[in-house]
Structure 1
């Protein structure tokens, strides 16, 4: 006999599932990938049914691995990628593929919205930042203008989390943190209905709202059969990935920060203040109903490393005698000096959100010469993502007064010791990594469910539940070269941004 929670962390490229006890101890894990679809330049979509297939598959796998009885499962919770757009029709049917958070198709609609506020400058003075083609409301407007039949048939727009709760319970709802990536009044805890109306979006197409810790319904008979679980098992509100990661990193209190390194990356600081968006940073609802968070998202991090591996290490990937091509790459990177012999990578493969907001900018390998090798490129990617994070941290201090003294890391990237040391050296701050860093989001979700079940009173329980794994100290000898190259890194953006816009504006 026991008491267990199943938590799903539904990311951009895969679902990671954990079965944990009420202390957050992991009994079993499973994962299942799903593809990103790119039918046009700057479009990124996913099939919602792929998410559900991953959910049902991994649920059955963790049950089989752990050999627990389904009757001992206390609840299910989803933590997911943010800003998804899944239109649900009158019959509960999905009307089109999910428009992913990395999709940037709606630049024209973003400009239309800002023009309603007398242009970008006035819009920024009101909101704190400009709106871009990757944001949700411009993409809702894109659907209305470019796919009017779908817009007119839509009863509710759901994000990925809302869709999974809908599949689980039959109830169309969205959780506060997910809503805060759409358009959410952080004070009143409700939709910004007037803003949606001004932008041309019918607020009646937005679902009712719940908190992360709320029990929103029970598993339907159909969903239970697909998961090998019992009908009626409680399903909780859940939250987006940034918010659940903050819980799983024990960074949920005032001024506490964490950094995620995975396919993408982000810097997140928790606060009880209602702040403005600035320099691409977003102010969003925390999983804790009483807190908010400021987050700066870097759209491409681990995906840049994947690109290097795919383009320059093809033979090694095909060699069956090499177990881990990334370990091989890391071993070579160690021999490249800090600064990669003045090779700089700007990792903006997908445009960028923070520290600068741009749809048209793309990645650059800058100052490349005959002396540079693929190992230089690899180290330059590690450094480039670290420069981006350092720039975000500088903006957080300047714009919000956040002084992050120690960097607390989660995500698969935090397992890379070379990268962690580079990050410590670039930022000149100590780096610590959380135990089970790849599962931090799912564990954070499980803690939300445990609070919803009444097992814990509030989010202060993370102090006892989350453990630290490794520590990295900055090498002060490397401060000079990295400070110099960080300055050059910023200059690259300001020098080339107009050129990127000129080249890519018609494409995107």
Structure 2
């Protein structure tokens, strides 16, 4: 039974994009005009399966969630007949194995899945001498050609494929193509096997030195140990990859001439929706979090795990720094500590829990009365790549309350954001000015202010921050169909408010940030000892 229900947006006129935002929590579908106005949207949750260091979702669940949410937004006949194209934005670093008929061979491995850590380590390391866990020769080749290197945590597509090849050889042999989530959705929409430069990026087998010509490299394929014919052809994010299949047209009652534009993974789509001008950064606050900015160069900060990599903008790279869990900390607090979602009869009956958390946290002074929270629920990516890190609450006493704990969670994510922001700004080589705040977490006025105060950087909250993915997908569709050009986008990226750092809090947060980094240095060895042997026990999470 569908959980999706219609959210009305603003009135629009003219053509509409059926924009798809497939995230870890579920699938949102929106009808968006070419100027980024969201006319209507609906959301359908998708189940997440976590077992130790395994994190999976069923691709069939993705598709059913899409059909459910899309059916809701397409129910209005007047708006439905204005749809001209479908375009997807999806979570990245998901690996789907499909057979020759396009059928999934089991569940997809997600960006949280760390089973491939040992398998990719065997491909990264030299027998006798290594630099930061890498064979010097392999490290130099990966960095020179791609701008990055497979994650030692095994969380990316390279780690997933290495794991499947080493531990599930039968599944590997049966796999016709390894697809990312975006590639799988496009296959279901058009019947075409293809990938975009950003969806294929973290397989780390493409030569990215020329942003106009991203292509597979035989030496990188050999180092990973995957055959070229098991990977889809690469197309630009703005390419019209075909008409929508007839069964999709019939099921959603779309206009017969509806086409599909290739789209992008979430990091690239958000960047299109948030800020396309070179060196203008954005901060995405969702289940995970990242800093991104378009730049005209390929550059890598190996020490801090930051790189500029191929993206949805032709001829440009996206500098990006990834944080494993951001909003997931608040959903963890909501679902595992405060109460369980099943306590409500339906989604409509649920209060806006996040707004309640904002109200509660606002009662507490900056600094959370001495509490410091480390938001590493599932390891970390930037500025340290350590799968063994875990969350922690430090300095808790009998004098503290739930208000202190809730605010400390928000401040902990802000500390981690500042931690990755410092080397990120260093890679850009300039003061970026106000940072665009997007994603569900950026709807919180309090959280935007906390991040501004902790980081010392102004935060520019977009007019509709939760819709950045769908707006980015709509802009890509508009460019792909010729309705817009890239130069049109800055005028369409409107903001609601700018949050300036409070200079009176600078000394407090500088001190706490120093303690935060000290806690990492002292606790990392303990976490490494505790989590070298993953604990088992399946956890099924519906979001």
TM-score by length of 1: 0.94
Contact 1:28 1:66 in 2 (8 A): no
Check conservation: 1:27, 1:66, Cα contact below 8 A: no
Unaligned ranges ≥5, structure 1:
none
User: Counterparts of 1:333 and 1:465 in 2: how far apart (Å)?
Assistant: 33
Alignment of 1:191-270 (within 5 A): 191-249=216-274, 251-270=275-294
SS at match of 1:178: coil
Shift of 1:138: 2.0
Q: Answer yes or no: is 1:170 the counterpart of 2:191.
A: yes
RMSD: 2.1
1:51 paired to 2:62? yes
Q: CA deviation at 1:226?
A: 2.4
Q: 2:71 aligns with which of 52, 56, 60?
A: 60
List aligned pairs for 1:285-434, cutoff 5 A: 285-314=310-339, 318=343, 323-434=351-462
Say whether the 8 Å CA contact 1:351–1:361 is kept in structure 2: yes
2:6 aligns to what? none
- Of 227-236 and 300-309, deviating more is 227-236
* Among 132, 146, 157, the residue aligned to 2:178: 157
Equivalence for 1:272: 296
CA contact (8 A) 1:137 1:196 kept: no
Do 1:175 and 1:212's aligned partners in 2 also have CA atoms closer than 8 Å? yes
Whether contact under 8 Å (2:56, 2:108) holds in the other structure is yes
Structure 2 residue 110 is matched with structure 1 residue 100: yes
The whole-number CA distance in structure 2 between the counterparts of 1:328 and 1:239 is: 33
Shift of 1:322: 8.4
Quote the residue 2:207 is aligned against: 185
Deviation at 1:277, TM superposition (A): 4.6
CA shift at 1:59, angstroms? Answer: 1.7
Most deviating of 278-287 and 414-423: 278-287
Partner secondary structure for residue 36 of structure 1: strand
Cα distance in 2 for residues equivalent to 1:410 and 1:139: 29
Matched, 1:9 2:21: yes
Q: Deviations over 1:191-214 (max 9, x none)?
A: 233212122222221110111100
Asked if 1 retains the 8 angstrom alpha-carbon contact of 2:158 and 2:202, the reply is no
Distance 1:315 1:350, change over 3 A: closer
SS state at 1:37 partner: strand
Q: Deviations over 1:351-399 (max 9, x none)?
A: 0111211111111112222222221111111111111111111111334
SS at match of 2:300: coil
TM-fit CA distance, 1:116: 4.5
Contact 1:24–1:447, Cα closer than 8 Å, also in 2: yes
User: 1:507 is matched with which residue?
Assistant: 534
Aligned pairs, number = 504
Conserved? CA contact 1:114–1:131, under 8 Å: no
1:89 maps to which residue? 99
Aligned to 1:490: 517
Q: 183-192 or 213-222, which moves further after superposition?
A: 183-192
Match of 2:7 in 1: none
Partner of 2:8: none
Pairwise CA distance, 1:248: 0.9
| Distance apart, 1:299 and its partner CA | 1.3
| Alignment check: 8 A CA contact 1:253 1:270 kept | yes
Q: CA deviation at 1:125?
A: 5.5
CA 1:311–1:96: 2 relative to 1, 3 Å: closer
Taking structure 2 as the reference length, what is the TM-score of the superposition?
0.88
Preserved CA contact (<8 Å) 1:393 1:404: no
The answer (yes or no) to whether the contact 2:120–2:163 under 8 Å persists in 1 is no
Q: Is the CA contact (8 Å cut-off) linking 2:150 and 2:203 kept in structure 1?
A: no
Other structure's SS at 1:397 match: helix
Partner of 1:143: 164
- For residue 463 of structure 2, the aligned residue among 435, 447, 453 is 435
Structure 2 gap ranges (5+): 1-12, 536-543
The alpha carbon displacement at 1:316 in A equals 11
Q: 1:167: Cα distance to partner?
A: 0.5
Contact 1:80 1:241 in 2 (8 A): yes
